[in-house]
Amino acid sequence: MAAKKKTTKPTKAQARTYYPPKTFDDDLVALVDLYTSSNWSFSNIDLTVLKADSVAQRTQRQAYDAAVAAFQQQHASFGSAQEARYQRFGAALNAARGAFRNDKVVTAQLAKFKRSAVRAAKKAAAPKPAGT
Sketch the domain layout of the chain as residue ranges.
Answer: 21-113
Dihedral over Cα of 61, 27, 45, 50: its sign: positive
Q: For 55-89, write each residue's pLDDT tens digit.
A: 999 999 999 999 999 999 999 999 999 999 999 99
Distances (CA, A) of 20 to 17, 23, 24, 27, 100: 10, 8, 6, 11, 60
Res 92: pLDDT? 96
Q: What is the C-alpha to C-alpha distance for residues 54 and 85, in angstroms, rounded to an integer? A: 46
Q: What is the C-alpha to C-alpha distance for residues 6 and 90, in angstroms, rounded to an integer? A: 57
Res 116: pLDDT? 74
